[in-house]
Amino acid sequence: MIGTMLGNRYELIEKIGEGGMAVVYKAKCRILNRFVAIKILKPEYSNNSEFMEKFRREALATATFSHSNIVNIYDVGSEGNINYIVMELVNGKTLKEYIRENAPLSMDSTLKISIQIAKALECAHKNKIIHRDIKPHNILINEEGVIKVTDFGIAKATSSDTITHTNKVIGSAHYFSPEQAKGKIVDNRTDIYSFGIVIYEMLTGRVPFDGESAVAVALKHIQDTIVPPKVLVPEVPDSLNNLVIKATQKEVIKRYNNVTDMLIDLMRIENNNKYIVTPSNMDNDYTTVMDATQIQNTMYASNLGKKLTNKDMDDEEEEEEDEDYEDYDGEKRKTSTWKKVLIVGGALLLTILLGVFVGTSIYNKGNSNVKKDELRVPKIIGLTADEAKDAVEKLGLTYVVLGEEASDKPAGTIIAVFPSEGTAVKKESEVRVRISTGPGEIEVPDVVKLGKSVAQDHIVTQGLKVGKITEDYSEEIEEGAVISTNPVAKTKVKKGDTVDIVISKGSRIKKTQVPDLIGLTLKEAEQVLAVVNLKLGSTTAVITDDISRDGKIFNQSEPAMTSVQENEKISVNYYQYKDPDEGKVEVPNFIGRTIEDAQATANSLGFRITVTGDRKGLIISQDVPEGNKLDKGSTINLIAQIKAPNIGGDDDEDEEP
């Protein structure tokens, strides 16, 4: 595929990744002159027309919105049997790789990453897009530490196929929600469950459930209890531990209703790790903070109560499967199904009647008890700790201090009470309070090298304000990123204090891109370089006997599209034509000449000759034909006629005695 041009604009340069469904390539957009990532679906998916139509529809829907924490989709296309998505190219690594290298992550790192993921999901959910495949493999971290969630289009389009291809998507099964594993209809809370598993993995370095196959893992999501992260890593604060427990509840209704609520809790925990998160959406106002043992016991007890529910859900799934086969099995199947419906319906009706009877009895009995010793939690917020204790204990309630935390209220005063003021409780019930330590100190977050908007988010979520924003040149920090803050990172400041930031304007020395000079003449290259504030450097000629190449550049010192400083010199190599006969001399006709005459002629033309035969004879042969051209100094081999012997003796008569 390397070198393939898609859509007459995207040239595939190199393979950069492969998953169960697609192969990812780095590509160059020849129209916008930028690098992109192209995800090409594998043939087994491209050949499914129904899948492809759904995939294309969802991918295009995702492309309609934009968020800084979501990988942008630029284009969706097909060419022959190749179906592809063109996406933003993110230089960095996956969250999965980051976890492998750094697990378990610190609370600060986990929160910073989680808040960005939550913002991405919040944007998607508001645009009616459910991801359905949230996992660390689909979350990227760029070189600035910015989180980018990817694979929205593919994730939703494959909701029904995922567990089927068990040999290819074992990674996804580790993050399935129970309703996904059952093949049930899902909503945005399925993303919340998977997101909770991702946070779990960041905190502990492992996934809660593992197995030899995707089906085995999926069954554990349905049946087994998640061991709270705090049990594995005691340093995990109660707040974050409870958040994970709440997000990964097996019953959808017990999870966060929406990711916005989860985001708010994450930001509150980042600001104060003692913030109280209720572990279940079904809890009443009596919000609790439990230690790891309490949470584990509660979860196991809850699981015992849900075994019947899980079985019932399995029965429902079997019924749905039966209905799917009706068209194939005819009336026999329909009759069997109706019998089953009557049986299940009768059992369900009996269960409801029993439930109403038992529930009414319990309610009436419990209600009469509450009325006898019902008390109201007194109004104690704003009172000193001693005043609050007196007010609570005078009513026969138990006063419990949950802890202290910084706030803008005076030190020693009550800032929170659980249950809330005015709540009806029984005598001797606990009333738990939090006491203010006064305005606390907060560390200025380290936002150097982060983008402007990301840095501002970090500062605000720490309970601080963004002050003056100035700009300056930097040779090290890229344009648009933070150079420094005032106060500097890790400085202790009060909540609500301002933090000034300096944003990079980039290098003081301006940069420019080297143009493509190949095929240009020296004069043309000089003109093109001048347009982008560059100069022509040294030029080296290479001789060629191809006159069509004469004067054309074939190599340049800096490749095209390279970023260099302005006014830099670009050296080139170019072709210079030379006539192959230039400087050569035409060979004369030596035949019939005497050796002396031949030698004189050769000397005048710059040739050398060798003669074999009779020195007094005439030249009868030459090895280089007349008219050929040779370089001066070349040697020509001649043969002279050998003189015949005098048989008659006439010649002797002429000789003197």
CB-CB neighbours of 300 under 10 Å: 11
DSSP string, 33-62: TEEEEEEEE-HHHHT-HHHHHHHHHHHHHH
Q: What is the dihedral of CA 352, 357, 358, 360, to 10 degrees?
A: 110
DSSP three-state, residue 126: helix
Rounded to whole angstroms, how far apart are CA atoms 410 and 579? 96
Here the tokens at position 503 are 């944003």
Q: Checking DSSP bridges between strand 498-504 and strand 465-472, what pairing results, if any?
A: parallel
Rounded-to-integer distance, Cα 174 and Cα 255, Å: 18
- Residue 494 near residue 441 (C-beta atoms within 8 A): yes
Q: Is the dihedral of CA 423, 428, 430, 434 positive or negative?
A: positive
The question of whether 321 is a catalytic residue gets the answer: no
Are 545 and 577 in contact by the 8 Å Cβ rule? The answer is: yes
The distance from CA 109 to its chain's CA centroid, rounded to whole angstroms, is: 17
Question: Could you write out the DSSP letters of every residue in 243-255?
Answer: HHHHHT-SSGGGS
Phi then psi dihedrals of residue 257, to 5 deg? -65, -35
State the Cα–Cα distance between residues 436 and 384, nearest whole angstrom: 9
- Tallying the residues shown for the chain, one arrives at 657
> Please, are residues 198 and 95 in contact by the beta-carbon 8 Å criterion?
yes
Q: How many CB atoms lie within 10 A of CB 311?
A: 11
Token representation of residue 368:
């009469």
For residue 224, which phi and psi values (nearest 5 degrees)? Answer: -90, 160
What is the C-alpha separation between 315 and 93, in angstroms, rounded?
43
Measured N-to-C along each axis, helices 259-271 and 107-126 cross at an angle, to the nearest 10 degrees, of: 150
Give the phi and the psi of residue 216 in degrees, each rounded to 5: -60, -40
Residue 558 to residue 561: CA distance in whole angstroms: 9
C-alpha 337/C-alpha 342 separation (Å) is: 9
Place of tokens 């109560």: 305
Q: Catalytic: which of 143, 318, 321, 323?
A: 143
Question: 430-462 burial, b if ≥16 CB within 10 A, otherwise e?
Answer: ebbbbbbbebbebebbbbbbbbbebbbbbbebb
Catalytic residues: 143
